[in-house]
Structure 1
Amino acid sequence: MRKSNHPHKKAVHFIGIGGIGVSALARYFLSKGNIISGSDTSPSELTDQLKKEGIKIFIGHKPVNIAKGVDLIIHSAAIKKDNPEIKKAEQLGIPFKSYAEALGELAQQYKTIAIAGAHGKSTTTAMASLVFIKAGLDPTVIIGTKLKEFTPPAGGNNFRSGKSKLLIIEADEYTGAFLNYSPFGAIITNIDLEHLDYYKNLAEIKKSFLKFIGNIQYGGILILNKDNKNLFSLRNKIKKIGQKNNLKLYWHSVTLDQRSQAQCNKLRKILKVSGEHNVSNALGVYTLAKALNINDKKIFDALSEYRGAWRRMEYRGELRIMNNKLRITNENSIIHNSSFIIPVYDDYAHHPTEIKATLAGIRQKWPKSAIICVFQPHQEKRLKSLFKEFAGAFDDADTLILLDIFKVKGREETKQSVNSQKLAEAIKRKSPINVLYLKSANWRTKNLSKTLKQIIIQNQHKSVLNQHKSALVIMMGAGDIYKMTDKLIK
């Protein structure tokens, strides 16, 4: 890589550039005229797009990827000190920072709003961004998902370049990343048992969130979800921090506050995304916007236009089943040689709380449809720590197809005593839903579409399609299951 000749431009290399957050930060640096390169372990749709935008992409982490002309290296949280590119940077004396450290330094240059919480960060960040754009505040946005509204030249799906000094970011608690930020305003959606490969227990997670609250700028604004028991249990400690730092604290509730019921009812009517969890996310954004004197019309107009985000209950296409043996009872008639069209959705949910909320939202929106959930667990440690919760998370599904666990490289230190087959057995013992387990070989090397169609046809007499007029498939998980969604709808 050549070194930048411009005194204010830098040659910046990103390790783990295929990550959704790191790629957004790379796009930010690119938008400022810097020379950008990056590496990742494998190509993806995201790295292909970054290439088209002018970023040099290397596949594989190799010392040769780091040239003497590099001014700065930014790496994802997954990158360890023994990474060959980090070692090369040390040899060459090139400074390197984590994604969170770099974003924290960047955020100091802006009036920053940070969205934190175990669940709902991306959706809430997206909603807040659209409201502030609608209000004419022209924010820069760095988000952990892709939005249809963020397209070049204003942004690149997970990034938007604004002209104001307002920055909206998604603040992740994993590895304490959000402790690098000192925002003037923040929303905390909830606190939950999550990232237990880093945190020891819930008490440690709560302490981390209290530290985050303590980092909010003096006189700043904090929006909190009263409906989340873990967060509300900290109310006295939060109040003390608020008094010390002169914070403006706003608690909101979908269920406990009669004053907000009119807003909640309106949100239920206008939102295109389903579920009470999304009503709660939107109410948090509404509360923040009102605290900053944005009028109701602009808030509700923006929220009504939100179409959802990448892998957040995202409609992907249709699964068409044609079989002359399939018999579907439709009121008083029996249809032979049937063509059955099933919509396919994709969702990032990988924690029991997220799974329950997503499936409940689907059941609420499509009460008469059969829900066929295909789930890929994410991390053995998460499944082991929350095994009981996972076993009770799928009650709103009619059929559950479990795939093998997606193991995250660098985050699975010890072999756990759980697997997807054991989860399937546990669910069968306590739930009446139809549960099937597919080994990896049965879905990675064969045609998933064919396998799923066979399962649906074989089980239709005793389960979902014989009892419902319609059905839908939800592909769920934080691993690489989204790649299978592409194959399913082809």
Structure 2
Amino acid sequence: MSFEGINSVHLLGIGGIGMSALARWFRHEGYAVSGYDRTPSPLTEELIAEGMQISFEDKLESIPAQIKDHSEKALIIWTPAMPKDSAQLNFFRDNGYQLKKRSEVLGILTSTYYTIAVAGTHGKTTTSSMIAHMLKSAGKPIVAFLGGITQNYQSNLILGGKKSKEPTLVVVEADEFDRSFLRLHPNEVVLTSADPDHLDVYGDEQHILDGFLEFVHLADKKGRLYIQQHAAQRLGEGKLPKIATREYGLRSSGISAENIQARPGSFVFDYLDGKNEIKGLELFIPGFHNVENALAAIAIALDHNISEEQIRLGLSSFKGVKRRFEIHVNEGNHVYIDDYAHHPEEIRACLSSVRAMFPTKKLTVIFQPHLFSRTRDFAEGFSESLSLADSVILLDIYPARELPIEGVTSAMLLDGINTDHKELVSKEDLMSHLDKASPEVLVTLGAGDIDRLVPVIATWMKEGLNRYAL
């Protein structure tokens, strides 16, 4: 299947971070783009401003005329998050429309272009964004489909680079949820991590490891595999594909970082890979985990003939991704950082880096667990990683796609958190609670609707700093 003969695209769940990137690409390519989503959001507002027709009612009357009247020229893209009783989804199914999942469409695109696919339980959004920025800033022609909004481009779709005879490079974030990454056709593969997650889909740890192993074997036989050292160990190095493979990690024997310095707003390090050494690189998105992500991006840049000078510039100008170790306030004795972390290992990486940056300051964490099943499956790990903080505030579990599970609540994490200050607080009472606490270093964590509190908290802290200045 190709997109020949298609002139309009309708996306069900268009406001999702992955779906909206596809919507933007089709719009850029000249297609009429429309869609449905359950609720408005800042992202859907941006898509409407970019010329897309979006409805928020799952009714047949909301389907644009060009989709209804010319079904043979329409492509319908849907996400598995759509409910089975969706009026629009069932209409398209019953009337013979060309209906494709997001992963299938990405599969078609990646079979057409030279593709770098980035997967992993953690780090894939930042790593894929960093790779895309490094390639674009060096003038390479690229298209990047990302799982987050980049600060450099304020988008989850990156386009451009100099016009040249070089083939377009596609950088795509490869999502393991629902095994959708197995539909891709990558030339090069990056695997940032292989920790258990999405056990509601995979069942157990071994099955998700099998999924990652199947994914890395999708790499083209003439391509390359960049794999984080612990991920390689977890998959079994003897099971990896017989292609050019480069292992990386902070202490890897392959690609590594040395002389790492944690500063209040950046990390400085040296890159080594046995052949190349680049000293004094500065990364302005802090975190040991982000230094590790940068190792993969630098290795790919070198393999695509990007110079040391271009790498320095690309790395130092990378502003990160929204909600990935995003520093909102860093003034005097008050710091506020927000992160998407929703897995024990992600929380551990985030808080360890914050500790290194601000070793003498009291660390307060607000965490909103994401999914009942994930909270149940990793309760011990969540408690252990949250114990890195001095004070922990737990919000109620964000259910996302799930119904409640009996006995599974945020409270089940409390006993295992090894700190003297830990409590449950409702979202409604959070700001009054913070007023009394007056935290020095505050970190919000979670993948649910905690993001809606971020601007409120940032404004509150900045206003407090103004009061202190007076």
Go from structure 1 to structure 2 and tell me whether the alpha carbon gap of 1:262 and 1:344 turns closer, same or farther (over 3 Å shift). closer
User: What SS does the aligned partner of 2:386 have?
Assistant: coil
Question: Partner residue of 1:53?
Answer: 50
Name 1:234's counterpart in structure 2. Answer: 236
Is residue 372 from structure 1 mapped to residue 364 from structure 2 by the alignment? yes
Residue 316 of structure 1 and its aligned partner are, at CA, apart by: 3.0
Report how far residue 96 of structure 1 moved: 1.1
Query: Separation in 1 of the partners of 2:444 and 2:256?
Result: 34
Contact 1:225 1:251 in 2 (8 A): yes
1:296 and 2:308 matched: yes
**Deviation at residue 9 of structure 1 after TM alignment:** 5.1
| Among candidates 267, 270, 293, match of residue 266 of structure 1 | 270
Residues 395 and 433 in structure 1, CA contact (< 8 A), matched pair in contact too: no
- d(CA) in 2 for partners of 1:282 and 1:145? 17
Q: Deviations over 1:159-187 (max 9, x none)?
A: 02236521101001111111010111111
How far apart are the structure 2 equivalents of 1:316 and 1:449? 17
370-379 vs 256-265, greater mean Cα deviation: 256-265
Equivalent residue number for residue 292 of structure 2: 280
- 2:464 alignment partner in structure 1: none
* 8 A contact 1:315–1:344 mirrored in 2: yes
Shift in Å, 1:475 = 1.4
Say if 1:381 and 1:416, in contact at 8 Å, map to a contact too: no
Unaligned runs of 5+ in 2: 261-268, 272-279, 460-470
Deviation at 1:38, TM superposition (A): 1.1
1:47-446 to 2 correspondences below 5 Å: 47-66=44-63, 67-68=67-68, 69=70, 71-151=74-154, 157-162=155-160, 164-228=167-231, 230-231=233-234, 233-238=235-240, 241-242=241-242, 247-257=243-253, 260-262=256-258, 265-266=269-270, 270-317=282-329, 342-409=334-401, 411-412=402-403, 415-427=405-417, 431-439=418-426, 443-444=427-428
* Contact 2:328-2:458 within 8 A present in 1 as well: yes
- Preserved contact between residue 288 and residue 353 of structure 2 (Cα < 8 Å): yes
Indicate the SS of the match to 1:158. Answer: strand
Describe the SS at the equivalent of 2:270.
helix
Residue identity opposite 1:394 in structure 2:
L
Q: Please, what is the CA RMSD of the aligned residues?
A: 2.3
Q: How far apart are residue 130 of structure 1 and its match? A: 1.3
What amino acid maps onto 1:485 in structure 2? V
Post-superposition offset of 1:52: 0.5
Distance 1:184 1:404, change over 3 A: same
Q: Distance in 1 between matches of 2:297 and 2:356?
A: 22
Aligned equivalent of 1:39, options 16, 36, 39: 36
Aligned counterparts of 1:248 and 1:258: Cα–Cα separation in 2: 13
Percent identity over paired residues: 32
- CA distance 1:403–1:345, change in 2 (3 Å): same
Secondary structure at 1:17 match in 2 = coil
Aligned counterparts of 2:259 and 2:314: Cα–Cα separation in 1:
14
For structure 1, the residue ranges without an aligned partner over 5 or more in a row are 1-5, 152-156, 320-339, 458-464, 466-470
Task: Summarize the Cα distance change of 1:292–1:433 in structure 2 as closer, same or farther, 3 Å threshold.
Answer: farther
Q: Give the Å deviation of 1:256.
A: 3.3
Contact 2:379 2:412 in 1 (8 A): no
Paired with 1:405 and 1:227, the residues of 2 have a C-alpha distance of 30
Give the drift of 1:269: 5.1
Amino acid of the structure 2 residue aligned with 1:451: H
Asked if the contact 1:380–1:416 (Cα under 8 Å) also holds between the matched residues in 2, the reply is no
The letter for the 1-side match of 2:237 is R
Aligned to 2:27: 30
Deviation at 1:370, TM superposition (A): 1.7
CA 293–262 in structure 1, closer or farther in 2 if over 3 Å, else same: farther
Question: What residue identity is the alignment partner of 2:383?
Answer: A
Is the Cα–Cα contact under 8 Å of residues 281 and 312 in structure 2 kept in the other structure? Answer: no
For the structure 1 residues 263 and 54, does the alpha-carbon distance in structure 2 shift closer, same or farther, using more than 3 Å as the test? farther
What does 1:451-462 correspond to in 2, within 5 Å? Answer: 451-454=433-436, 456=437
Supply the distance in 1 between the matched residues of 2:450 and 2:413 (Cα, whole angstroms).
18
- One-letter amino acid of the counterpart of residue 76, structure 1: T
Separation in 1, partners of 2:186, 2:137:
21
Query: Does the 8 Å contact 2:107/2:183 carry over to 1?
Result: yes
Shift of 1:276: 1.6
Which residue is 1:468 aligned to? none
> Taking structure 1 as reference, are residues 298 and 318 closer, same or farther at Cα in structure 2, changes over 3 Å only?
closer
Is residue 487 from structure 1 mapped to residue 460 from structure 2 by the alignment? no
Separation in structure 2 between the aligned mates of residue 63 and residue 234 of structure 1, nearest angstrom: 50
> Deviations for 1:333-361, whole angstroms, at most 9, x for unmatched residues?
xxxxxxx9733222100000000100111
User: For residue 53 of structure 1, what is the amino acid of its counterpart?
Assistant: E
* Cα deviation 1:242-273 (Å, max 9, x = unaligned): 1xxxx211112311328734596326751112
* Residues 255, 295 of structure 2: 8 Å contact kept: no
Q: Is the 8 A contact 2:148 2:322 kept in 1?
A: yes
Asked if structure 2 preserves the Cα contact closer than 8 Å seen for 1:227 and 1:256, the reply is no
Q: Deviations over 1:370-405 (max 9, x none)?
A: 221111000010010011111101122111110000
Q: Distance in 1 between matches of 2:175 and 2:270?
A: 30
CA distance in 1 between counterparts of 2:109 and 2:255 reads 38
Q: Which amino acid aligns with 2:193?
A: N
Once the two structures are overlaid, the 10-residue window that deviates more, 29-38 or 270-279, is: 270-279
After TM superposition, the score normalised by the length of structure 2 is: 0.86
Q: 1:80 to 1:219 in 2, by over 3 A?
A: farther
Amino acid at match of 1:60: E
Structure showing greater radius of gyration is: 1
2:191–2:231 Cα contact (<8 Å) kept:
no
Query: Which amino acid counterpart does residue 452 of structure 1 have in structure 2?
Result: L
Q: CA deviation at 1:229?
A: 6.3
**1:172 and 1:230 mapped to 2: Cα distance?**
21
1:291–1:173 distance in 2 versus 1, CA, 3 Å? same
Give SS of 1:197's match: helix
The secondary structure found in structure 2 opposite 1:61 is coil
Aligned length: 430
CA contact (8 A) 1:12 1:34 kept: yes
